[in-house]
Amino acid sequence: MASSTSILVHNNKILLILRDDKPEIPEPNTWQLPGGGVEEGEDYFQTISRELQEEISIIPQQLKYLGSAPGDTKVFFASLGDEEVLNIKLGNEGQKLEFFNLEDVFKTNLTKKFQFYLSKFKDGIVELIKNGEVDDIAKLGLN
């Protein structure tokens, strides 16, 4: 399924959303990056914009495309400003939003896909969180 996801960072922390605790959805009650599936007629940027509005109630001003991940997922990034963070609120999807230090992310109950991604590309993600960019998107598993 085509999807868009976002890595949103503030003060060296990454924003995650706790999925709803509904048995009918995949991997309920686990943490993941904000994002979701492409709906008919949308491009990937429209998808991530809609999903972010639905999930965190803002669309970051500096949202930029990073690259394409396996499984037809487009990955976007933004370093959030203080005012943007103040305007973040849980939308109509998920149970909770929280910024995590990367060390703490590994201690949370993550979706399987996100857990795999983090373990495989940790160094690139650390570089992205600290610097706001990576010198090679392959470090993030993207092309």
pLDDT at 140 over 90: yes
Q: Considering the entire predicted model, what is its pTM?
A: 0.94
CA atoms in the 13 A half-sphere facing the CB of 65? 12
Mean pLDDT of the chain: 94
pLDDT, greater one: 71 or 115:
115
pLDDT on residue 1: 78
CA distance 115 to 112: 5
Band of pLDDT at residue 70, cut at 50, 70 and 90: confident
> Residue 94: CB partners within 8 Å, gap ≥ 6?
17, 18, 19, 20, 55
Mean pLDDT over residues 34-54, rounded? 96
Establish how many alpha carbons lie within 13 A of residue 139's alpha carbon, considering only the half-sphere containing its beta carbon: 13
Q: What is the pLDDT of residue 76?
A: 97
With a cut of 90, say whether residue 95 has pLDDT above it.
yes
Question: Which burial class, exposed, middle or buried, applies to 73 when counting CB atoms under 10 A from its CB (0-12, 13-18, 19+)?
Answer: buried
Q: Decide if pLDDT at 98 tops 90.
A: yes
CA distance 9 to 130: 9
- The pLDDT value given to residue 89: 97
138 band by pLDDT with thresholds 50, 70 and 90: very high
Q: Residue 71: what pLDDT?
A: 83
For residue 73, the SS3 value is strand
